Amino acid sequence: MVMNGATMEVGAVAAMRYVTDGIRAARLVMQHTEHTMLVGEKASSFAISMGLPGPTNLSSTESMRKWIKWKENRCQPNFRKNVLHIDSCGPYHPKDKADLGGRTYLMDSLVGTIVSKSSHAGLHNHDTISMAVFDKMGHIAVGTSTNGATFKIPGRVGDGPIAGSSAYADDEVGACGATGDGDIMMRFLPCYQVVESMRLGLEPKLAAKEAISRIARKYPEFVGAVFAVNKNGVHAGACHGWTFQYSVRGPGMNDVEVFTVLP
């Protein structure tokens, strides 16, 4: 996902196969279509038709090794819940069903307390990169790219391509980027909240902390982090469930500076 903070244009791709450069594909969506997001095989076809290399086999020796080990471990973890299975690798069927008036309804608890799950998000199971860039005119752009969570259910789309969740920018205010348990974080649009909090006058540190705290109040076991930067270049981060690091490089700096944020 990429976003232009001057025009509020967004380009995104999701569930895209056979193309290595997802962020360039997202930029092509933003620059050359009137859409915001393309998904699946047609997103791949679009990216290739616009000049990106492909189709390409994206499997690597390491990814195949992980997949084989996962199969040997009875397909665990697999992000499924409230299911019955023939064996550990499926097929899967919903459990606790009741037939009401000829229709089948899941007896999920839709009212009451949220049951916490052990998060699969961590330092070594995803590869999210979220970035904010300011040009000399003060215009802001953000971008997020990821392969998504390891061992996700086929078809899963996380927060990476969702504007307001993985990243958000507005030239008038500033920008935000996020990483972590995208399935949880996308329910709260934390980066949209960060930017809007800064619009209302909060400093980046408080805006970031409030966005993370709002998620943690509902999901105390979630793992995630955000960085916030206002239009004046003041930046900060906030995290929950891990120690988060982000890097900054500005005019006159010979190298990036890494900032560590404690939960």
Residue 150 annotated in active site? no
Cβ proximity of 170 and 195 under 8 Å? yes
The dihedral sign for the CA sequence 207, 210, 214, 220:
positive
**Ramachandran angles phi, psi of 67, nearest 5°:** -65, -45
Separation between Cα atoms, residue 249 and residue 255, nearest integer Å: 6
Please identify which of the residues 7, 104, 113, 128 carries the catalytic annotation. 128
Measured between alpha carbons, how far is 12 from 4 in angstroms, rounded to an integer?
12
Using the structure block, give the residue that is written with the tokens 């390409």: 56
CA dist., res. 226 & res. 213, Å (int): 11
Q: CA dist 138 to 98, 149, 204, 207, Å?
A: 57, 34, 17, 21
Q: Where are the beta strands (DSSP E) in the chain?
A: 2-4, 10-14, 37-39, 83-85, 92-94, 97-100, 103-106, 129-134, 140-145, 167-170, 174-180, 224-230, 235-240, 244-248, 257-261
Distance (Å, whole) CA 127 – CA 62: 14
- Identify the residue whose tokens are 């080990």: 69
Q: What angle do CA 127, 172, 262 make, to 5 degrees?
A: 40
Residue 153 has what DSSP assignment?
P
What residues act catalytically? 128
